[in-house]
Amino acid sequence: MIEIDWPEFGVGPCPPPPSTSELEARIGNLRARMEELKITHIVVYGDREHFANLTYLTGFDPRFEEALLIIGRTATPLILVGNECEAYLGISSLHAAGRMRHERFQSFSLLGQPRDRSRALREILAEEGVARTAKVGAIGYKYFSNDEHPDAAHALDIPSYIADALRELAGAENVFNVTELLMHPGYGLRTKSTAKEIAYFEYANGQAAESVKRMIFALREGMTDHSVVESGRLNGDPLSCHVTFVTGRHANYGLCGPSGERIRRGQPLAFNVSYWGSNICRAGWIAGSAADLPDAASDYVAQFAGPYFEAMSEWFGLMRPGALGHRFHDLIQARLPFDRFGIYLNPGHLIHLDEWMSSPFYAGSQIPVASGMAIQVDVIPQSNLYFSTRMEDGIVVAGAELRADLKASAPECYERCQKRRSFMTDVLGIELPEEVLPLSNTCAIVPPFFLEPHNVLALEI
């Protein structure tokens, strides 16, 4: 345990949205994959919760409704939107430049709204060339393995009425789930971030981290959880998942939000803030020292939080391009045995606009870490006795070429990343491979006792 003043790295201005040329390049890359697979059409489904694939390709996110992007091999892409999203389409530089057509499809609108002034979906799809000669790829937000489904290639995760129309026109055997083209951890298009994407993720991580930091330093006994979250001063950027805040009677409900619970000494606490491209989470105890913990958990730092911190330092040390995903799984299983640390989910995952895209970190994974991967430091221990601990922040793995690109295009962002690297190494004792760029202002700062946040974990240097 060391005592520090938390560093001030600053937060840059919000980067501009993707340009028309960037979006066209993304669609062009997807069309290249279509050619390889001899696919004639791809349809991309999106809604409020499952927006990331659609937003990545178009710069548009459906706010209240669903939407469907139809991409052929040559025609200008067509997006179908409901009543309320139609006026929002200008948010997309692609649409504003006339490089994406649109049509109002009112079945995407909310119940009770006008729904009688648009063509049938079957008619629209047929006009776009979806027929028996077509081979259609559907992108939702999940794909499936053969272990999960007897016909994984044809198992669609989009609404039935859309899937039915596609299958009726093209034949069920000609409609495939190709969500992996965007989301597979090894070759998905969204798994390799550009310098511009990294700059946005760094902005989001900075904003979320500052909110979490304000919440930690505002904690006082007797406050309500709502008051603590209010102290975070969230800035209105869109969230990729709910703000969580678990303590008291809800301590075992990890996805619970604030509910009026009081901050009480000796209780566990976990909470997060997640803007698009980020998720900053911390877990520990509402305490000033081990003396405030239940007697059975008084060795929390020595037996739980400390070993976790040490293991995560090794986890960072592995984070180099080419490192196979199973090595991270094997490390965590060996250093943090399940019977004491209860780590059930993957030891880290890829993050993008959505909080969890996919993960190369699992038993037996031969998927290598690659330059451009934005990774969530999301290794979640859980214990009936010790509760949890967490250093959940965002990083990006960037090879020399990508680092040079980031330094040239976003020099202030690059400099903040370098300052965070120095802090993690020189103050916290975590040695980082040169390819690791920390995106968060709370980079690996773990205060076990939230009522004394200046006391944090570190390795002996």
Average pLDDT over residues 270-276: 97
| Same domain, yes or no: 171 and 198 | no
Domain membership flag for residue 19? no
Q: How far apart are CA 296 and CA 309, in angstroms?
A: 21
Alpha carbon 185 to chain centroid distance?
13
Alpha carbon 156 to chain centroid distance?
22
| Single-letter amino acid code for the residue at 184 | H
CA distances for 273 relative to 153, 236, 401, 420, angstroms: 35, 12, 31, 20
| Same domain, yes or no: 118 and 202 | no
User: How big is the chain by its Cα radius of gyration, in Å?
Assistant: 23
Average pLDDT over residues 396-406: 98
pLDDT at 251: 86
Domain membership flag for residue 21? no
Query: 134, 151, 177: which is the final residue of a domain?
Result: 177
| Single-letter amino acid code for the residue at 256 | C
Strand partners, 70: 43, 78
Q: What is the CATH number of the domain that holds 450?
A: 3.90.230.10
Evaluate the CA torsion angle 328, 332, 338, 342 in order and state its sign.
negative
Domain ranges, residue 78? 40-177
Average pLDDT over residues 438-458: 98
- Would you say residue 428 has pLDDT above 90? yes
| Same domain, yes or no: 235 and 303 | yes
Domain membership flag for residue 30? no
Residue 162 tokens read as 């859309």
pLDDT at 46: 98
Q: How far apart are CA 76 and CA 58, in angstroms?
A: 12
| Same domain, yes or no: 196 and 100 | no
Q: How far apart are CA 276 and CA 197, in angstroms?
A: 11
User: Is there a contact between 88 and 80 (Cβ–Cβ < 8 Å)?
Assistant: no
Q: What is the CATH number of the domain that holds 128?
A: 3.40.350
243 φ/ψ angles, rounded to the nearest 5 degrees: -70, 125
pLDDT at 194: 97
CA distances for 120 relative to 105, 163, 380, angstroms: 8, 14, 47
Domain membership flag for residue 251? yes
Q: Between 195-218 and 411-426, two packed helices, what is the crossing angle to 10 degrees? A: 50
Q: How far apart are CA 334 and CA 457, in angstroms?
A: 21
* Predicted confidence (pLDDT) per residue in 12-68, tens digit: 999 999 999 999 999 999 999 999 999 999 999 999 999 999 999 999 999 999 999
- Would you say residue 91 has pLDDT above 90? yes
| Same domain, yes or no: 95 and 201 | no
Query: 151, 177, 203: which is the final residue of a domain?
Result: 177
- Give 252's pLDDT tier (boundaries 50, 70, 90): confident
| Same domain, yes or no: 146 and 201 | no
User: Is there a contact between 417 and 183 (Cβ–Cβ < 8 Å)?
Assistant: no
pLDDT at 106: 97
pLDDT at 461: 79
State the chain's mean pLDDT as an integer: 97
* Predicted confidence (pLDDT) per residue in 198-237, tens digit: 999 999 999 999 999 999 999 999 999 999 999 999 999 9
pLDDT at 253: 85
CA distances for 341 relative to 157, 286, 300, 421, angstroms: 34, 20, 12, 27
Domain membership flag for residue 22? no
Q: In the chain, what percentage of residues exceed pLDDT 70?
A: 100
Domain count, the chain: 2
Average pLDDT over residues 114-135: 96
| Same domain, yes or no: 323 and 373 | yes
| Same domain, yes or no: 239 and 344 | yes
pLDDT at 145: 94
- Give 335's pLDDT tier (boundaries 50, 70, 90): very high
- Would you say residue 254 has pLDDT above 90? no
DSSP 293-307: S-GGGTTHIIIIIHH
Strand partners, 68: 45, 80
Which of 147, 228, 203, 172 has the alpha carbon at shortest distance from 413?
Answer: 203
Q: How far apart are CA 156 and CA 172, in angstroms?
A: 11
Domain membership flag for residue 421? yes
CA distances for 394 relative to 66, 123, 201, angstroms: 29, 44, 8
